[in-house]
Amino acid sequence: MSEQKSNRRGWKIGALVTVVLLLVGGGIGAVTLPTWVEQNANSSIEAKIEAEAESPARSTPGMASPVVEEMKLRITPADGAVEVNPATAPALEVQNGTVESVKLVPASGGGSIEGKLSDGGQVWTAAERLAFNTQYNFTYTVVDGAGRETTKTRSFTTVVPANEANAWTYPLDGMTVGVGQPLQINFSEPVLNKARIEEAISITTSAGQSGEFHWYNDEMLRYRPKEFWEPNSTITIDFKLFGVEFGNGMIGNHDSSVTVNIADKKVAIVDNKTKEMKAYINGELVRTMPATLGMKEWPSTSGVHVVMGQQRYADFNAGTIGLEPGDEHYYPPLTVEYASRISQSGEFVHAALEEALPYLGSLNVSHGCIGLSEANAGWFYKNFGTGDVVKITNSNGAELAPLDGYGDWNISWEDWTQE
């Protein structure tokens, strides 16, 4: 029995050596598995391949195919966002996938917003402006590297009317004005981002003339050149305010363009010493007219004035300048002819009253206005107009304030350009 065990042990050792030798020698027989083992192993592999092929997501390497990297999306505006600036172009960016389709439409109905898809199909950007006070539905379909589609819808709402901001100009579009007319821009809301607003307003002239802005307050801006506008030139004001933030959450709501025409250069100089008005057109003296200015107690303001508007007949009331019946300089309501306003506070060039005619050229008897004969006042009314210049010299009155009409030219260029 001892000998049989020894023989069996020797056979096992010999068989093991034979298998090892066959394996080292590259033989096949040594690695061939029993039939039941082979069938079981193949079944497992097939099952794994099938499971991975049907898997809704892959995050680790497998035997069926390379890993499909997870898609990442970047979408603006955020879902549910409100007060979205309508100048902000909605966009969808996909990493590890492509954009299949995008539909951006007003929730209340209407046409789709057109968009542009990048060459690689990974970025979609809206190519049209949005509307104010509108809810939009943003529906998109994206595809990952395994060809699986994902479709979702999100929404956002743009700025409501309470947060819209507007602007308007004077002179109005298409007007013809004189060389002294500053450009005035008024804003519906206070402007805090003044530098940004200035960048959004472009002013050019056919004469190549440049100028500077001057803020009087948060809601009013004026623009003028260093000297008067070039005669017979054209000014173009381009507004690019849509989507521009004024500050305090207020958003500009429009783009527009305004054209203003400049007429001949017309300047009338009124000298208190000589009591005369000399009218110049394009630098040539065309008419000299005797005048009466404001009396000592009511002197005419000095400096550069600009004609603000004209009335064939204008009603005057002493109450508008603070005078009441019984006051020394009170006068009853009256109507004057050929009235050209030159200050907001009530100074005009107009036909003098009959009782003032004897004093033209010799004595001041008005409450600040420039009185002329009816013929001369009619000539001035016909030949001068909005934006033309009236300069009053040697008056005892204070200089016309910048906002008492258009006294902008009484500010030095150095001060004008200081913010």
Cite the active site residues. Answer: 350, 369
User: Given strand 91-95, what is the order of strands in its sheet?
Assistant: 72-76, 91-95, 123-126, 115-117
Output the CA torsion 247→251→255→256 (10° steps). -70
Closest CA to 91 of 109, 104, 72: 104
Contact 130, 86 (CB under 8 A): yes
Which string of DSSP letters, residue by residue, matches 351-366?
A: EPPGGGGGGTTT---B
CA–CA separation, 4 and 105 (whole Å): 92
State in Å, rounded, how far the first CA of the chain is from the last one: 119
In 176-300 the beta strands, taken as DSSP E runs, fall at: 176-177, 183-187, 201-205, 211-217, 220-225, 234-240, 245-247, 250-252, 255-262, 266-271, 276-281, 284-290
| 3 state DSSP class of 328 | coil
Judged on CB neighbours under 10 Å (0-12, 13-18, 19+), 406 is buried
Sequence-distant (6+) residues with CB within 8 A of 388 are 178, 179, 180, 263, 266, 267, 268, 306, 307
**Residue in the block written with tokens 């083992």:** 37
